[in-house]
Amino acid sequence: MPFLSLNDISRTFGTTRAVAGVSLDVNQGEFFGLLGPSGCGKTTTLRMIAGLEKPDSGSILFQDKDITNLPPERRGFGMVFQNYALFPHLNVFENVAFGLRARHKSKEEMNERVNSALELVQLPNYGKRAIDQLSGGQQQRVAIARAIAIEPALLLFDEPLSNLDVSLREETRRELRELVTRLGLTAVYVTHDQEEAFALCDRISVMVGGKLMQTGRPRELYEQPSEISVASFLGRNNLIKAMRLSSSKTTDGEFKTLEGEHTLHLHVKHENLAPLNKPVYLAIRPEHVELSTNNNTAENSLRGNIREIVFGGATSTVRVDANGLLIEALVLQTNGLQVDQPCNVILSPDHLTLLK
């Protein structure tokens, strides 16, 4: 039985469909990510889980109870907002105590829970501080403390790290994950940053244009994207338009690229055999593309010319033009490679993926 489940929920603002028929399940104790480009509907989905928006259709079940129409104050979910939404007229203690006051907790219990929440986020003795005396990172911790002080049944994060600078972001990310695990909480985390999502989440749903494209573990999403939108959103990818040549019954696929008219071979899984004579996309990550300057007879080796070499620090990007087909390769060393030099591009069948 899933802890939280969204069943076919949709939300329209005016004429734009922000969320279109999203269904997903979150398990207890899971750190679940909603990942997608800005405007993809991930925040709206989170706000519907929080009760801040009502779905136009569909239902939300929490521990098998329908909470679709329950107002936010009766859900008992903690939420950390992108801008923190700390109350400017209250000090740190009162901010963290806010939810406990709303629950009419005794003074002793309130003191104890506020102080332990502040200790958890490593801000003990900060209670009397005014909000505007805190740095961005400290404000962000207070926001987390406020959300966990109510002992939430579910913790919701709306891009909580996007207002922090890069160095602070990684540190806070690690602490956040540790905290959630230690308290045994279930979390739903919205972000547009795939690195952040990969580092934090047990499972991730990728959303594009209001639709849920794919759900899976980070590695699964990265290595076996099932949709073009997922493949192109998660990291860099070479997308090759091609047509299937061999019989559609066999799992040994033979494809002809539309640009450059190269023949490529790859292993096709039974469940997604491509139809004949209909363009499909093949994807390969730049880090999986091999370059070689000697003559070589490896499978899927295409002849090309180096167009551009972009130095990027630890790695460099090499763009190769293989008879009109542009392929990007990520290499550690550019030794011996030069612009306008002919070379072979090897697209290993193990790394080529067929997209729906």
Partner 1 sequence: MALLLVTAVVLLYGVIYPNLSVAISSFQRAGTWTFANYTEILSQRIVLEAIVSSLGLSVATVLCCALVGIPLAFLFERYTFPGRRLFAAFAALPLVLPPLVGTVAFIYLVGESGILAHGIQNLLGLQNPPWRLRGWSALILFHTYTMYPFFYVLTGAGLRRIDASLAEAARSLGASKTTVVRRVVLPQLTPSLLAAALLTFMTSMASFSAPLLFGGDVRVLTLEIFTARQRGDFVIAITETVILAVISLGALFFFQRYEGTRRFAAAAMKGAPRRRASIASGPARVLATTLAVVFAIVLVLPVATLFLVSFAREGSWTTQTIPSAYTFANYQRLFADPWAAEVFFNSVTMSAIAAVAALLWSFAVVTLLRRGRNEQKFFGEGWRRLLSLLVLVPWALPGTVVAVSVAEAYGGPSLLLGSFVLVGTFWILPVVYFLRFMPLVVRALQASMEQVDPTLEEAAGSLGARAWQRFMRVTLPLVWPGAVAGTLLAFVIALGEYVASVLVFVPANRPISIAIASELRDFNLGAAAAYGVVLIVIISISMIVAGRLEKLRG
Binding stretches for partner 1 (CB under 8 A):
50-52, 71-79, 81, 83, 85-89, 98-99, 101-103, 146-147, 150, 156
Nearest CA to 48 among 204, 188, 216? 188
Give 49 or 325: the residue with its C-beta nearer to partner 1. 49
Q: Smallest distance from the beta carbon of 76 to partner 1, in angstroms?
A: 7
Q: Smallest distance from the beta carbon of 73 to partner 1, in angstroms?
A: 5
The CA distance from 27 to 221, in Å, is: 18
Give 96 or 346: the residue with its C-beta nearer to partner 1. 96
Strand arrangement, sheet containing 203-208 = 78-80, 155-158, 187-191, 31-35, 203-208, 211-216
Q: H helices then E strands: how many in the chain? A: 8, 20
Give 88 or 312: the residue with its C-beta nearer to partner 1. 88
Q: Smallest distance from the beta carbon of 120 to partner 1, in angstroms?
A: 17
Q: Smallest distance from the beta carbon of 93 to partner 1, in angstroms?
A: 14
The CA distance from 156 to 200, in Å, is: 14
Give 75 or 192: the residue with its C-beta nearer to partner 1. 75
Do residues 241 and 258 make contact, with C-beta atoms less than 8 angstroms apart? yes
Q: Which residues, other chains included, contact 320 with Cβ-Cβ below 8 Å and sequence gap of 6+?
A: 291, 304, 305, 306, 307, 326, 327, 328, 329, 343, 345
The CA distance from 296 to 166, in Å, is: 43
The CA distance from 163 to 153, in Å, is: 26
Do residues 339 and 307 make contact, with C-beta atoms less than 8 angstroms apart? yes
Give 143 or 176: the residue with its C-beta nearer to partner 1. 143
Give 10 or 257: the residue with its C-beta nearer to partner 1. 10
Give 46 or 282: the residue with its C-beta nearer to partner 1. 46
Q: Smallest distance from the beta carbon of 158 to partner 1, in angstroms?
A: 9
Q: Smallest distance from the beta carbon of 233 to partner 1, in angstroms?
A: 26
Give 21 or 76: the residue with its C-beta nearer to partner 1. 76
Q: Smallest distance from the beta carbon of 105 to partner 1, in angstroms?
A: 11
Nearest CA to 277 among 258, 262, 260, 259? 258
Q: Smallest distance from the beta carbon of 130 to partner 1, in angstroms?
A: 14
The CA distance from 334 to 255, in Å, is: 30
Q: Smallest distance from the beta carbon of 7 to partner 1, in angstroms?
A: 22
Phi-psi region of 21 (alpha: psi -120 to 50; beta: other; left: phi over 0): left
Give 46 or 240: the residue with its C-beta nearer to partner 1. 46
For residue 253, what are its two tokens?
Answer: 């696929």
Task: Tell how far CA 97 is from the center of its chain.
Answer: 32
Do residues 133 and 86 make contact, with C-beta atoms less than 8 angstroms apart? no
Q: Let me know how long the chain is.
A: 356
